Structure 1
Amino acid sequence: MSSRPQPVIGRRAVLRGAALGLGAGGLLSACGIPAAKQSADSCLSTDLSATEKTLIFSNWPSYMDESKEKVNGQTVLPTLAAFEKQTGIKVTYTADVNDNAEFYAKVRDQLGACQPCGRDIFVLTDWMAARTVGLGWIQKLDHANLPNVDKNLLQQLKAPRWDPNRDHSVPWQTGLTGIAYNAKFTKEVGSFADLLSRGDLKGKVTMLSEMPDTMSFMLRLEGADPNKFDDAAWNKALERLSRYVASGQIRRFTGNDYVQDLNAGNIVACQAWSGDVLALQADNPDIKFVVPEEGLALWSDNLLVPNKAAHKANAEALMNYYYDPEVAATLAAWVNYICPVDGARAAMEKVDPELVDSPLIFPDKTVLDKTFAFMPLDTAKAKLYETDFNLAIGG
């Protein structure tokens, strides 16, 4: 058993906005006005990195490697401390991205008005990252400062539809959404069609409260492509979900609190995130992760530099640092999600040999070829779809 520290709260433990009625649709309309678009021409930023060696970094909880030691009462973050020592850049690090929509609400007024939001770099999931890029709120990156990123970014992540040249974003960590089951209580569940129809599973399964995760698979079951679909396909997928809810097949919709129920056998199978499953498997070998017949949803959480951030080059230095394979492997060994850095698997031989063959950190090409992404949505469409989804799941 590895002695590496394990995060107490997973990166997605707090992603329960939809289930709690706090989906992006509600938050986006909270101020009663549409989000204001900007552009590189209308919202100019000045970079002070040459004279100010500082960086303000907002990230998700438990999404940075930690040490058991403390200095002046503060937890040591080893790779970040090494970055500071190597570059002389002092990082103010805060784990205050508790929910994509909630964080959007924190910064929307400033960024919409072309004002500083108090951060030089933050991390958002694909669908929300796409929204902020589409609104013109994110600075264009200088790839001359990102040689490690250009060299080592996994091929499958290089050209998302919402940022095809990675001009505005760099993946921080990546994950898979598939199926998990507890082999102590049920036989293998190989597809979402089975998960949502088998009689022996009725009332013993959960789905995720994040709309893109769950609706991706409803679309797949309808024969549609989650990365490119129209309203007709959406409506059919939504009707399918409503039927599953009405049948009682689905016990509830969750954030990553499904892990406790799955571990205890209160549920026997579920839609699941890969990092959660890997953490569970460390103590419970009965927990299995399945590549379902419908494929796997692939998502990333992305590093972004907002408009009016005054330390873009410093942020780019941090991005480039974390794309060094050994640094990336060290981080991946702690957070347990897919490492987006080519070469990190070889580096893991030295960092933590037990994880070299982990398919949930280093999936092979066969697995990655079965992945798909959810279509980027503009603000109006996202609000409509999130409202539809909340109504369907009873949120």
Structure 2
Amino acid sequence: MKRLLQSCVLSAATLLAAALLAVNIRAQELPSELVLLTWSHYFDPAVIAEFERANNTRIRLINFETDDGRDELLLETDGRGFDLIVANGTGVGKYAREGWLAPIEDRLVPNRELIAPQWFDYFPEAREYAVPYTWGTVGIAYRKDLYRKPVESWAALFKPDPALFGKIAMIRSSRDTVGMALKMLGYSMNSESIEEINAVAPLLVAQRPFVKAYSYPVIDAQSALVSGEIVMTMIYSGDALTLQQHHPDIQFVLPREGTGLWVDYLVLSTYSREKTLAYRFLNFINEPAVAARLMSYVNYASPNAAAEKLLPESILNNPVVYPPPEVLLEAERFTRLSPKAARLRKQLFANVAERTVAPD
């Protein structure tokens, strides 16, 4: 009986060990998951697939449409649920102060040293918390076959010609829309002046009937700018080039009053459950050949100096992507606004963009 009991105990132990081994094997076979909060169409699917295969993982992309939309999502989740986040320059410091970001360990992203120093210097917290991904400008894209007048000023968008009634699209972003309206009025896009910000209100109210949509344009063959449903829109530089590939009559302009120079960064979430995998991804996308492939896909300028040397001439020598030095000298960098100024801009924009237009 004792021997039988021992045999039963051994059998139970053997079964338990086998079960635990099977669970462990299945756990090893199941791919991990890296969650990336990003703009849509911002990473080449082929590059994503290559990283997934090499690391037995899955990358889940969660997309946002605007900077404001991303900020709202992060506030709702308290920065949780993501491993990596695409953040603009002003967002890096804001998210760090909220406690949402983990500092970047240089030894785990050795390819970070390939990035030109200026892209870390633009924003004080970038060197500690961020890895620069892209940079670009904001301007006007329009159909030159459907609107034949010269487009040289922000006034073409904010004080539109009657022919553009119901044919304009605006980015659903208080920072971009109010900022560029300030440029048109001769002010800094980073203005903290209540008087100057309020001066934008009548401009946006008068523009409202001309605006078909306050949303970022789709950047593929289904775009309303490609179909001609929209004739003019505010847009980021690389996306304008992407749309030009779908229609030859799409023109991109950086208005004479100046533009905004922005930088997008990848930041690591404090709450990431896959930090090791996240570091591998950050290093992988900064391998020069990979970074060049990514920029060729999104049509944006690369902060990675080694990758720039590998870019095709169609991007490297394209003034849409790499504006002339004199244009960049006149461009303003987006800087952090005071809470009061940011709230006023958001309220001003919401009063226009979310207002229901009464029928005639």
Q: Normalising by structure 1, report the TM-score.
A: 0.69
Aligned twin of 2:217: 256
CA distance in 1: counterparts of 2:230 and 2:260, whole angstroms = 22
CA displacement at 1:354 relative to structure 2: 4.2
- Gaps of at least 5 residues in structure 1 are 1-52, 68-75
Are 2:201 and 1:238 aligned? yes
Residue by residue over 1:138-179, the C-alpha shift from the partner in whole angstroms, topping out at 9 and shown as x without a partner, is 112223444432332363x32234x35521122223332101
Q: Is the 8 A contact 2:135 2:261 kept in 1?
A: yes
Tell me, yes or no, if the aligned pair for 2:136 and 2:301 is still in contact at 8 Å.
yes
- 1:98 equivalenced with 2:64 (yes/no): yes
Q: Which moved more, 1:383-392 or 1:306-315?
A: 306-315
- Within the alignment, does 1:275 sit opposite 2:253 as a pair? no
The corresponding residue for 2:35 is 57
Backbone CA RMSD of aligned residues: 3.2
- Residue by residue over 1:347-371, the C-alpha shift from the partner in whole angstroms, topping out at 9 and shown as x without a partner, is 124xxx5444333344443443332
Higher relative contact order (CA 8 A, sep 6+): 1
- What is the 5 A alignment of 1:299-318? 299-312=262-275, 314-318=277-281
Amino acid at match of 1:375: T
Aligned to 2:259: 296
Amino acid at match of 2:332: F
Residue 45 of structure 2 corresponds to which residue in structure 1? 66
Bigger Rg, which one: 2
Equivalent residue in structure 2 for 1:133, among 77, 84, 96: 96
Question: 2:330 maps to what in 1?
Answer: 370
Query: Any residues of structure 2 matched to 1:1-395 within 5 Å, and which?
Result: 56-60=34-38, 61-67=40-46, 77-81=48-52, 85=54, 89-99=55-65, 100=67, 103-104=70-71, 107-108=74-75, 111=78, 117-153=80-116, 155=118, 157-161=119-123, 163-185=124-146, 186-197=148-159, 199=161, 201-203=163-165, 204-245=167-208, 248-257=209-218, 260-312=223-275, 314-349=277-312, 354-377=314-337, 382-395=342-355
For 2:213 and 2:131, the matched residues in 1 are separated by 34
Residues 153 and 318 (structure 1), Cα distance of their counterparts in 2 relative to 1, 3 Å cut: farther
Q: Residue by residue, what CA displacement relative to the aligned partner does 1:29-60 show, whole Å, maximum 9, x if unpaired?
A: xxxxxxxxxxxxxxxxxxxxxxxx96723133
Q: CA deviation at 1:391?
A: 0.2
Contact 2:92–2:126 (Cα < 8 Å) also in 1: no
1:380 deviates by: 6.5
| TM-score (norm: length of structure 2) | 0.75
Provide the C-alpha distance between the structure 2 equivalents of 1:339 and 1:268, rounded to a whole number of angstroms.
29
CA drift of 1:210 comes to 1.3
Q: Are 2:85 and 2:266, in contact at CA under 8 Å, matched by a contact in 1?
A: yes
Q: Are residues 254 and 101 of structure 1, via their aligned partners in 2, closer, same or farther at CA, if it must alter by over 3 Å? A: closer
Aligned residues: 319
Matched residue of 2:159: which SS?
A: coil
Which residue in 2 is equivalent to 1:17?
A: none
Q: Deviations over 1:41-86 (max 9, x none)?
A: xxxxxxxxxxxx967231333222124xxxxxxxx735524xx63x
Where is the helix percentage greater, Structure 1 or Structure 2? 2
- Percentage of identical aligned residues: 24
